[in-house]
Amino acid sequence: MSLFSFLTHCRPLSAAALLALAGCNSGASSGGAQPDLLRANLDTTVSPGDDFFQYANGGWLKRHPIPASESSWGIGKEVQNEVYDRLRILNEEAAKANAPAGSSQQKIGDFWASGLDSVAIDRQGLAPLKAELDRIAAIRSVADVQAVVARHKVLGVNSLVGLYVAQDAKNSDKMALHLYQAGLGLPNRDYYFNKDARTVRIRREYGRHVARMLGLLGQDSVAARQQSAQIVQLETTLAGASRKLEALRDPYANYNKRAVADLGKLTPGLDWPRWLGQMEMPPTDTVIVGQPEFYQRAGQLLLTTPLDQWQAYLRWHLVNTFASQLSAPLDNEHFRFYGTVLQGQKVQRARWKRVLDEEEAGMGEILGQLFVKEYFTPETKARYAKLTENVVAAFRTHIQALDWMSDATKQKALVKLTKITPKVGYPDKWRDYSALTISPDSYLGNVMRTNEWTYRYNLRKLGQPVDRTEWEMTPQTYNAYYNPSNNEIVLPAAIFAIPGLADKNADDAIIYGYAGASTIGHELTHGFDDEGSQFDEKGNLRNWWTPKDRAAFQQRVNGIVRQFNGYTVLDSLHVNGKATAGENIADLGGIVIAFDAFKQTEQYKKGEKIGGLSPTQRYFLGYALGWQNHQRDEVLAQRILTDVHSPAKLRVNGPFADVPAFYEAFSVQPSQALWRADTARVKIW
């Protein structure tokens, strides 16, 4: 469980991305002799009423096959490539600058240099891990196991305990300690139990991979295979006590507050106050346990599993966390399993891009400060702030017009909407990295230190006032989120970027579909989806609905769950309608809300065609542009099991099948694949 476990994101992509967007304009055409972007992307061999995703994006997808180094390719990766190029320039300049020690330039330059020095990394071998491997070798008791697990938490290693500080879901003005299920090497618990051929093969390969990695740590082949089997057995037991993806979306079921002193009742024989102290946790009286049954089982295992089995497990999780920063044999074997077997990548991505990813994860706001200064203008920020206001106004009208919600609940919904804080572009206050030390000597050392800095930065929030100005994404991130505890939508600058189209040349139809619907309206709707709707205007987990209205809402949620349960992906794999409900609700809500906002623009009112397409057609194509993406079967199968987002194709075809304006814009007929009878169409917001 990550620090921002309750954040709901509009995109499954998390990599950095930003485009240099030009000034604000309203209703401009797509520009002189330039070919129209939307027209150029079309696959006109497909009827929009049969497969709108393919119709809208098929031309682009045919021209842009997935590169061998990637598991997927799409608009987000195109934006990401542009930002990589710009970040590379910033890093190369920093590496040459001979900047003062402790300055942002020095930290960026030395991190970059250490990551690119593969000769030094290979020469160092396992030396950067020696101190941590020695700790594991010195284990002689259960208390020693706990001490190593605590050390792993500080380093960012996913072994056994998921611990973080975040707002209390029932008291958003307080920061609280949270415990969450953790400790698996496969993506989630279903990988340990599903019996389909694909997952069985992955499980078999996982055992082989663990054995190979232990061999590279110095174990002989027999011992490596034995220990691999022990590790998989231990993880399988932990997986059996872990909750399924859809169960993790119930905020009440995953909120179990208790006194720290009472944790011993859950895990007899374990000294939690001492253990939390070893994890550097500030003194606290209470803890919110997400999944008590997981910790009950983990506590039993600590007392009953042989120490040498724990040592093998801890060695594995240590090397698994840092393999990409170690010598080539470990890096390559790690990629073989997690890149090729799990996600279908043919070759590793360029080292310099992977170094930028680590830098982004460790000190992304340093990059962000330099980035927005160069590439995101105040005029562009103003355009999207105004767009956000317009979409909020349209949502207000939608709530007022609902025929299934009483006036009493409507008034509370309107209060919540009014209280949503929009954050657009970049933060007004940046994180202070002065305590972070970066040197050119060891790439792994730098990654470890950034992990420690991030962990301690998070822990220092315990007992402090909630900082509602903070961002959990950097400006150069191609993503966005709704945070229910802050009742805010956060819209990083990068999410508004369209590769190959300057902002000044983007007509309102594209912008309202691409940014207004798939991002702004989507994130606003998350405040009122099946999970977000359980939080009030102050960000507290509290029921503000009448029973009748809640039942009417749930009836509509059930409809979208049934709709998406009916979609088959990759032979026998089905979309998990319950796990993806929040994202599917937000997609549908974003589309209908932003369309009403678009109808207030001059472009819509004039009705003039651009590229042979009406304003309404361009709006729907603009939305589909945001999900312009295709992926390898391996990663698609993984996301079906682990991701609360539906596949990109269904994020277009699924909600569009519920929108009457889409039927009208493209003359969808009952004989076509996307047609749904009026009574079957879902309408929520």
- Average pLDDT in the chain: 94
* Number of Cβ within a 10 Å radius of residue 24: 18
Sign of CA dihedral 210, 215, 216, 218: positive
Helix (H/G/I), strand (E/B), else coil: 185: coil
CA-based R_g, the chain, Å: 25
Q: What is the mean pLDDT of residues 387-403?
A: 98
pLDDT value for 9: 52
Does the pLDDT of residue 12 top 80, yes or no? Answer: no
For residues 321 and 363, give the distance between their C-alpha atoms in angstroms, rounded to a whole number.
Answer: 18
Choices 3.20.20.10, 3.30.450.40, 1.20.1050.10, 1.10.1380.10: CATH for 139-325: 1.10.1380.10
Sign of CA dihedral 633, 635, 636, 642: positive
Does the pLDDT of residue 18 top 60, yes or no? Answer: no
Torsion angle (degrees, nearest 10) of CA 109, 112, 115, 117:
-70
Does the pLDDT of residue 437 top 60, yes or no? Answer: yes
Domain residue limits, the chain: 139-325
Burial class (CB in 10 A: 0-12, 13-18, 19+), 189: buried
Q: What is the mean pLDDT of residues 647-672?
A: 98
Alpha helices in 305-350, H assignment, sequence order: 307-322, 328-335
pLDDT value for 7: 59
Phi, psi for residue 8 in degrees, rounded to 5: -115, 120
Does the pLDDT of residue 586 top 50, yes or no? Answer: yes
Does the pLDDT of residue 356 top 60, yes or no? Answer: yes
Phi, psi for residue 668 in degrees, rounded to 5: -70, 135
pLDDT value for 491: 97
For residues 534 and 552, give the distance between their C-alpha atoms in angstroms, rounded to a whole number.
Answer: 14
Does the pLDDT of residue 2 top 80, yes or no? Answer: no
Which of 333-342, 365-374, 390-399 is least confident? 365-374
The answer to pTM > 0.85 is yes
Residue whose token pair is 């609360």: 644
pLDDT value for 374: 77
Question: What is the tens place of the pLDDT at every residue in 59-91?
Answer: 999 999 999 999 999 999 999 999 899 899 999
Strand locations in 169-299 (E): 171-180, 257-259, 286-289
pLDDT value for 375: 76
408, 410, 384, 407: which is closest to 685 by C-alpha?
410
For residues 398 and 392, give the distance between their C-alpha atoms in angstroms, rounded to a whole number.
Answer: 10
Phi, psi for residue 252 in degrees, rounded to 5: -75, -45
pLDDT value for 8: 55
Under 8 Å between Cβ of 252 and 534: yes
